[in-house]
């Protein structure tokens, strides 16, 4: 039982460290895209003096803001879904919290593939839930 609590704290700690590093890089505790208002630090970057999100940066560079996401991780399944670039950044960041053996699946284990598929599905639900809360 203690192992699960320790494991959960460690994952949260890594996510918190990544978030703090991003906020430090962006130079503010409350970053927001100068163009669209996106405020998830995972999707934001500095562009000259402004903070801008990936999708706005892609549009400004005449690139598509839509990317292909591997919900189970590319090492587990070649299946991809089209998804807005900011959301792709968020989902990819959530995958960084998965156990490395699940994400990388070095032995091509069918059980790890199934676990990755479930984790990817749950991450999508988490993203959809946060988006509906944000807009609702």
Q: What's the pLDDT tens digit per position in 66-96? A: 999 999 999 999 999 999 999 999 999 999 9
Pairing of strands 50-53, 44-47: antiparallel
Residue 19 is encoded by which pair of tokens? 């978030």
Domain that holds residue 21: 2-135
Across the strands, what pairs with 81? Answer: 69
How many independent structural domains does the chain possess?
Answer: 1
In this prediction, residue 8 has a pLDDT band, given cuts at 50, 70 and 90, of very low
pLDDT number for residue 132: 83
List the beta strands (DSSP E) in 1-136: 44-47, 50-53, 66-69, 81-84
In this prediction, residue 133 has a pLDDT band, given cuts at 50, 70 and 90, of confident
User: Nearest 10 degrees: CA dihedral of 34, 55, 84, 101?
Assistant: -100
Distance of CA 72 to the CA centre of its chain: 13
């Amino acid at each position: 039982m203690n192992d699960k609590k320790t494991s959960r704290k460690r994952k949260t700690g890594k996510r918190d460290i990544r978030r703090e590093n991003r906020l430090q890089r962006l130079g503010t505790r409350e970053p927001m895209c100068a163009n669209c208002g996106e405020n998830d630090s995972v999707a934001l970057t500095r562009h000259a003096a402004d903070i801008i999100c990936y999708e706005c940066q892609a549009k400004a560079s005449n690139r598509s803001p839509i990317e292909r996401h591997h919900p189970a991780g590319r090492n587990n399944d070649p299946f991809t879904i089209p998804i807005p670039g900011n959301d792709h950044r968020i989902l990819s960041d959530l995958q960084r919290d998965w156990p490395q053996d699940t994400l990388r699946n070095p032995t091509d284990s069918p059980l790890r593939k199934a676990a990755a598929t479930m984790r990817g599905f749950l991450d999508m639900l988490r993203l959809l839930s946060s988006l509906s809360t944000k807009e609702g």
